[in-house]
Structure 1
């Protein structure tokens, strides 16, 4: 059990709590508490929380929707998220495809991080929905997050 004094403070209130996820009130997964927050770079800590937010968002989608990321402050459109990574000490990257199906990668400094998660219709309606947040959580919980060897596996 992690020392609660080292856990981050978190809080959220919602007009309709039943319509929102419970990320802020749920205990952190073991993968997030293996090392104290103070030992993580800003990029690693942002990456870990992004996985949690994406997974939480996806848990609220219906079977005809998938998660995509809208860009803030520009006309770049949307990115269907296929992966998320970080490069210590301060970069976070998103891998995916834009609305035209072109491979896209966003590299962002943690101080500039603004992400809008959007529910978009699946590209192939008959296919099962792709849940990237849950896939990333499985990899992270397995110890791959933050390992230098995981860089070779990046999309």
Structure 2
């Protein structure tokens, strides 16, 4: 018999822990959020105590930060849209409204203000690298890092 016997407390804790998995075709691929330990600020509140919006918000931040870590100084993160002619949204802000809404704030490639309000049940985010507006004048803006700071994330992480 290979099943592990757990106490009620252990079973409850295990059910509250996030589960993640990823497989890459390149064994040397950069670690992705599914493979990295959760920041302590994210892990301190059990998943079962979070609304779907809060939990989606936190994970989108982890993906944004990881994506930005792979960009050079001349590119910023944006979001592409499928199934419409809306183009891309340069991500300048991210929020959530319990229990089930995520909001992306930003601008399109021409600088026109945009906002995407999405139910977490329909959440699809395609991250894209786009050239920053003024390559020579200012450094690329890193929304993922700013959002991670707002979560209270520091360099400490927790095993997930």
Bin of the TM-score, shorter chain as denominator length: 0.7 to 0.9
Aligned residue number for residue 128 of structure 1 = 139
In the alignment, structure 1 residue 107 sits paired with structure 2 residue 117 = yes
Q: Tell me how far apart the structure 2 counterparts of residues 8 and 19 of structure 1 sit (CA, whole Å).
A: 22
Q: Unpaired runs of 5+ in structure 1?
A: 143-155
Aligned partner (choices 55, 76, 95) of residue 85 of structure 1: 95
Aligned residue number for residue 37 of structure 1 = 47
Which stretch shifts more, 53-62 or 120-129?
120-129
- Aligned residues, how many? 140
Which stretch shifts more, 88-97 or 67-76?
67-76
Q: Tell me how far apart the structure 2 counterparts of residues 4 and 120 of structure 1 sit (CA, whole Å).
A: 41
Structure 1 residue 51, shift from structure 2 partner? 0.3
Q: Which has the higher contact order (CA 8 A, sep 6+)?
A: 2
Superposition pairs for residues 1-155 of structure 1, below 5 Å?
5=14, 6-126=16-136, 127-141=138-152
Which stretch shifts more, 63-72 or 49-58?
63-72
Aligned residue number for residue 156 of structure 2 = none
Structure 1 residue 25, shift from structure 2 partner? 1.2
Q: If the length of structure 1 is used for normalisation, what is the TM-score?
A: 0.85
Structure 1 residue 75, shift from structure 2 partner? 1.5
CA 1:99 to 1:88, structure 2 compared with 1: closer, same or farther past 3 Å? same
Q: If the length of structure 2 is used for normalisation, what is the TM-score?
A: 0.82
CA 1:38 to 1:122, structure 2 compared with 1: closer, same or farther past 3 Å? same
Q: Tell me how far apart the structure 2 counterparts of residues 103 and 30 of structure 1 sit (CA, whole Å).
A: 34
What CA deviation, in whole Å up to 9, does each residue of 1:82-115 have, x standing for no partner? 0100000010000000111011110001111111
Aligned residue number for residue 4 of structure 2 = none
SS in 2 for 1:53: helix
Structure in which a larger fraction of residues adopt helix: 1
